[in-house]
Amino acid sequence: MQPFTTHTGVVAALDRANVDTDQIIPKQFLKRIERTGFGQFLFFDWRFLPDGGPNPEFELNKPAATGASVLLARRNFGCGSSREHAPWALADYGFRAVIAPTFADIFFNNCFQNGMVPIRLDEADVEELFKRATAAAAAGGQYRLTVDLKACTVADDAGFSRSFTVDPFRRQCLLEGLDDIGLSLRHTDEIAAWEAAHGLPAVSG
Protein backbone atom coordinates (compact mmCIF):
# COMPACT_ATOMS: atom_id res chain seq x y z
CA MET A 1 0.00 0.00 0.00
CA GLN A 2 1.30 3.45 -0.87
CA PRO A 3 2.27 5.46 2.21
CA PHE A 4 0.45 8.71 2.88
CA THR A 5 2.35 11.60 4.41
CA THR A 6 1.52 14.90 2.69
CA HIS A 7 -0.55 15.25 -0.44
CA THR A 8 -1.55 18.31 -2.48
CA GLY A 9 -4.19 17.73 -5.10
CA VAL A 10 -7.02 19.12 -7.18
CA VAL A 11 -10.41 19.02 -5.47
CA ALA A 12 -13.45 17.41 -7.08
CA ALA A 13 -16.50 18.93 -5.40
CA LEU A 14 -19.30 16.36 -5.35
CA ASP A 15 -22.18 18.38 -3.93
CA ARG A 16 -24.31 15.41 -2.90
CA ALA A 17 -25.27 13.86 0.43
CA ASN A 18 -25.91 10.18 1.21
CA VAL A 19 -23.77 8.91 -1.66
CA ASP A 20 -23.98 5.15 -1.30
CA THR A 21 -21.57 2.46 -2.35
CA ASP A 22 -23.76 1.31 -5.25
CA GLN A 23 -23.48 4.79 -6.69
CA ILE A 24 -19.73 4.80 -6.12
CA ILE A 25 -19.29 1.44 -7.88
CA PRO A 26 -22.46 -0.18 -9.29
CA LYS A 27 -22.96 -3.86 -8.50
CA GLN A 28 -22.66 -5.05 -12.12
CA PHE A 29 -18.94 -4.26 -12.04
CA LEU A 30 -18.12 -6.34 -8.96
CA LYS A 31 -16.66 -9.20 -10.97
CA ARG A 32 -12.97 -8.81 -10.12
CA ILE A 33 -11.13 -9.90 -7.00
CA GLU A 34 -8.14 -7.62 -7.61
CA ARG A 35 -8.17 -4.10 -6.18
CA THR A 36 -7.30 -2.55 -9.52
CA GLY A 37 -9.39 -1.84 -12.61
CA PHE A 38 -12.42 -0.33 -10.88
CA GLY A 39 -11.61 3.34 -11.43
CA GLN A 40 -13.06 3.31 -14.93
CA PHE A 41 -16.44 2.41 -13.43
CA LEU A 42 -16.42 4.94 -10.60
CA PHE A 43 -19.78 6.76 -10.35
CA PHE A 44 -20.64 5.02 -13.62
CA ASP A 45 -24.36 5.85 -13.68
CA TRP A 46 -23.61 9.51 -13.05
CA ARG A 47 -20.46 9.89 -15.16
CA PHE A 48 -21.89 8.44 -18.35
CA LEU A 49 -24.97 8.99 -20.49
CA PRO A 50 -27.11 6.07 -21.74
CA ASP A 51 -25.20 6.13 -25.05
CA GLY A 52 -21.91 5.64 -23.21
CA GLY A 53 -20.62 9.18 -23.62
CA PRO A 54 -19.50 11.28 -20.66
CA ASN A 55 -22.21 13.27 -18.91
CA PRO A 56 -21.03 16.90 -19.12
CA GLU A 57 -23.19 17.86 -16.15
CA PHE A 58 -21.57 15.45 -13.71
CA GLU A 59 -19.11 17.07 -11.32
CA LEU A 60 -16.13 14.83 -12.07
CA ASN A 61 -16.46 15.40 -15.80
CA LYS A 62 -16.07 19.17 -15.56
CA PRO A 63 -12.73 20.87 -16.29
CA ALA A 64 -12.36 21.99 -12.67
CA ALA A 65 -12.13 18.34 -11.60
CA THR A 66 -9.58 17.18 -14.19
CA GLY A 67 -6.89 15.17 -12.45
CA ALA A 68 -8.61 15.46 -9.08
CA SER A 69 -7.18 13.48 -6.17
CA VAL A 70 -9.14 15.02 -3.28
CA LEU A 71 -12.87 14.35 -3.18
CA LEU A 72 -15.17 16.77 -1.35
CA ALA A 73 -18.67 15.54 -0.51
CA ARG A 74 -21.60 16.04 1.84
CA ARG A 75 -22.69 14.06 4.89
CA ASN A 76 -23.02 10.27 5.15
CA PHE A 77 -20.64 9.50 2.31
CA GLY A 78 -20.17 5.80 1.54
CA CYS A 79 -23.44 4.58 3.04
CA GLY A 80 -25.25 1.46 1.83
CA SER A 81 -23.59 -1.91 1.42
CA SER A 82 -20.23 -2.82 2.95
CA ARG A 83 -18.48 -3.49 -0.37
CA GLU A 84 -14.78 -2.69 -0.22
CA HIS A 85 -14.90 -2.17 -3.96
CA ALA A 86 -16.04 1.41 -3.27
CA PRO A 87 -12.70 2.59 -1.86
CA TRP A 88 -10.95 0.39 -4.42
CA ALA A 89 -12.68 2.32 -7.20
CA LEU A 90 -11.93 5.71 -5.65
CA ALA A 91 -8.27 4.85 -5.11
CA ASP A 92 -7.91 3.35 -8.59
CA TYR A 93 -9.38 6.53 -10.08
CA GLY A 94 -6.69 8.52 -8.29
CA PHE A 95 -8.23 9.83 -5.08
CA ARG A 96 -5.98 9.97 -2.00
CA ALA A 97 -8.35 11.76 0.38
CA VAL A 98 -12.09 12.17 0.86
CA ILE A 99 -13.51 15.06 2.88
CA ALA A 100 -17.05 15.06 4.25
CA PRO A 101 -18.91 15.95 7.46
CA THR A 102 -19.70 12.29 8.16
CA PHE A 103 -19.02 8.87 6.66
CA ALA A 104 -20.65 5.48 6.89
CA ASP A 105 -18.61 3.49 9.41
CA ILE A 106 -17.63 0.53 7.21
CA PHE A 107 -16.62 2.75 4.30
CA PHE A 108 -14.64 4.95 6.69
CA ASN A 109 -12.72 1.93 8.00
CA ASN A 110 -12.12 0.53 4.52
CA CYS A 111 -10.47 3.76 3.36
CA PHE A 112 -7.57 3.18 5.74
CA GLN A 113 -7.01 -0.28 4.27
CA ASN A 114 -6.63 1.24 0.81
CA GLY A 115 -4.28 4.14 1.35
CA MET A 116 -6.90 6.89 1.47
CA VAL A 117 -7.51 9.38 4.25
CA PRO A 118 -11.19 9.98 5.13
CA ILE A 119 -11.35 13.44 6.72
CA ARG A 120 -14.30 14.54 8.82
CA LEU A 121 -14.80 18.30 9.04
CA ASP A 122 -17.64 20.36 10.46
CA GLU A 123 -20.55 21.15 8.15
CA ALA A 124 -19.57 24.83 8.14
CA ASP A 125 -16.00 24.02 7.09
CA VAL A 126 -17.20 21.71 4.32
CA GLU A 127 -19.56 24.43 3.12
CA GLU A 128 -16.65 26.87 3.01
CA LEU A 129 -14.62 24.43 0.93
CA PHE A 130 -17.51 24.05 -1.51
CA LYS A 131 -17.70 27.84 -1.85
CA ARG A 132 -13.98 28.07 -2.56
CA ALA A 133 -14.09 25.23 -5.07
CA THR A 134 -17.09 26.83 -6.82
CA ALA A 135 -15.34 30.21 -6.99
CA ALA A 136 -12.20 28.64 -8.48
CA ALA A 137 -14.27 26.81 -11.12
CA ALA A 138 -16.20 29.98 -11.99
CA ALA A 139 -12.90 31.73 -12.60
CA GLY A 140 -11.83 28.95 -14.94
CA GLY A 141 -9.36 27.42 -12.52
CA GLN A 142 -9.01 24.51 -10.15
CA TYR A 143 -9.11 24.39 -6.38
CA ARG A 144 -6.33 22.60 -4.52
CA LEU A 145 -5.96 21.38 -0.98
CA THR A 146 -3.01 20.01 0.94
CA VAL A 147 -3.57 17.16 3.37
CA ASP A 148 -0.78 16.75 5.90
CA LEU A 149 -1.26 13.49 7.77
CA LYS A 150 1.69 14.09 10.07
CA ALA A 151 0.19 17.36 11.30
CA CYS A 152 -3.42 16.21 10.73
CA THR A 153 -4.30 19.38 8.85
CA VAL A 154 -6.04 20.25 5.60
CA ALA A 155 -5.29 23.62 4.04
CA ASP A 156 -5.32 25.67 0.85
CA ASP A 157 -2.99 28.50 -0.18
CA ALA A 158 -5.58 31.20 0.56
CA GLY A 159 -5.85 31.07 4.32
CA PHE A 160 -8.05 28.05 4.96
CA SER A 161 -6.56 25.61 7.47
CA ARG A 162 -8.30 23.11 9.71
CA SER A 163 -7.19 20.25 11.92
CA PHE A 164 -8.79 16.83 11.79
CA THR A 165 -8.60 13.85 14.06
CA VAL A 166 -7.59 10.32 13.18
CA ASP A 167 -6.97 7.24 15.27
CA PRO A 168 -3.21 7.18 16.08
CA PHE A 169 -2.79 3.53 15.09
CA ARG A 170 -4.52 4.04 11.73
CA ARG A 171 -2.54 7.21 11.16
CA GLN A 172 0.74 5.38 11.74
CA CYS A 173 -0.27 2.55 9.41
CA LEU A 174 -1.08 5.06 6.64
CA LEU A 175 2.18 6.92 7.19
CA GLU A 176 4.07 3.65 6.78
CA GLY A 177 1.86 2.26 3.99
CA LEU A 178 0.63 -0.74 5.98
CA ASP A 179 -2.73 -2.46 5.56
CA ASP A 180 -3.69 -5.43 7.74
CA ILE A 181 -1.71 -7.86 5.58
CA GLY A 182 1.38 -5.67 5.55
CA LEU A 183 1.13 -5.25 9.30
CA SER A 184 0.91 -9.02 9.77
CA LEU A 185 3.93 -9.60 7.54
CA ARG A 186 6.00 -7.50 9.91
CA HIS A 187 5.51 -10.20 12.51
CA THR A 188 6.26 -13.33 10.48
CA ASP A 189 9.10 -14.40 12.78
CA GLU A 190 6.91 -14.09 15.89
CA ILE A 191 4.07 -15.94 14.15
CA ALA A 192 6.40 -18.74 13.07
CA ALA A 193 7.79 -19.03 16.60
CA TRP A 194 4.30 -19.23 18.08
CA GLU A 195 3.26 -21.91 15.57
CA ALA A 196 6.38 -23.94 16.33
CA ALA A 197 5.79 -23.64 20.07
CA HIS A 198 2.26 -24.97 19.62
CA GLY A 199 3.19 -27.87 17.40
CA LEU A 200 1.78 -26.42 14.18
CA PRO A 201 3.49 -27.43 10.92
CA ALA A 202 5.58 -24.79 9.22
CA VAL A 203 4.03 -23.25 6.12
CA SER A 204 6.41 -23.24 3.16
CA GLY A 205 6.34 -20.16 1.01
CATH of residue 20 = 3.20.19.10
103 found inside a domain: yes
pTM of the predicted model as reported, rounded to 2 decimal places: 0.88
CA–CA separation, 95 and 9 (whole Å)? 9
In a domain, 184, yes or no: yes
142 inside domain: yes
How many domains would you assign to the chain? 1
Q: What is the pLDDT along the chain (205 residues), one digit of tens a residue?
A: 889 999 999 999 999 999 999 999 999 998 877 788 999 999 999 999 999 999 999 999 999 999 999 999 999 999 998 889 999 999 999 999 999 999 999 999 999 999 999 999 999 999 999 999 999 999 999 999 999 999 999 999 999 999 999 999 999 999 998 865 555 555 566 666 666 676 777 655 4
On whether residue 162 sits in a domain, the answer given is yes
pLDDT of residue 184: 54
Contact 100, 120 (CB under 8 A): yes
Does any domain span residue 104? yes
DSSP code of residue 204: P
**Beta-sheet strand order (sheet of 153-155):** 117-120, 97-100, 70-72, 6-13, 144-148, 153-155, 161-163
25 three-class SS:
coil
